[in-house]
Amino acid sequence: MGDFMGIGIGVNNNGFGFTLSEKEKRYDVDYFSVYGIFDMSFIKINGGYLMNGREIFDTENIKKTGNGFFINIFLGWQF
């Protein structure tokens, strides 16, 4: 709707990871999500549902973290 307002939906496969400093092992987290976005010029609201969350330690230890809802609210003001 021009430059002022927008809405959207999507599917995401996201995660992050890092190598532990005291060991030569890796720690990773990954998940799938479906989400919706409502975006105006000064506020952005993003919410959805996370599925199949996993914690992976050194590719051998896999722990399922479950499912759940999330919401992010960003508020900005131009000076």
pTM of the model: 0.69
Cα dihedral 17→73→66→31 (10° resolution): -40
| CA–CA separation, 46 and 65 (whole Å) | 21
Q: Domain 5-75 - what CATH class?
A: mainly beta
Q: How far is CA 8 from CA 40, 48, 51, in A?
A: 12, 12, 19
Given CA atoms 13, 19, 23, 24 in this order, what sign does their dihedral have? positive
What is the predicted pLDDT for the residue at 60? Answer: 79
What is the predicted pLDDT for the residue at 2? Answer: 54
pLDDT for 8-52, tens place per residue? 999 999 888 988 877 778 889 999 999 999 998 889 999 999 998
Domains of the chain, by residue range, sit at 5-75
Strand ranges of the sheet holding 5-19, from the earlier edge strand across to the other edge = 5-19, 26-40, 43-57, 61-75
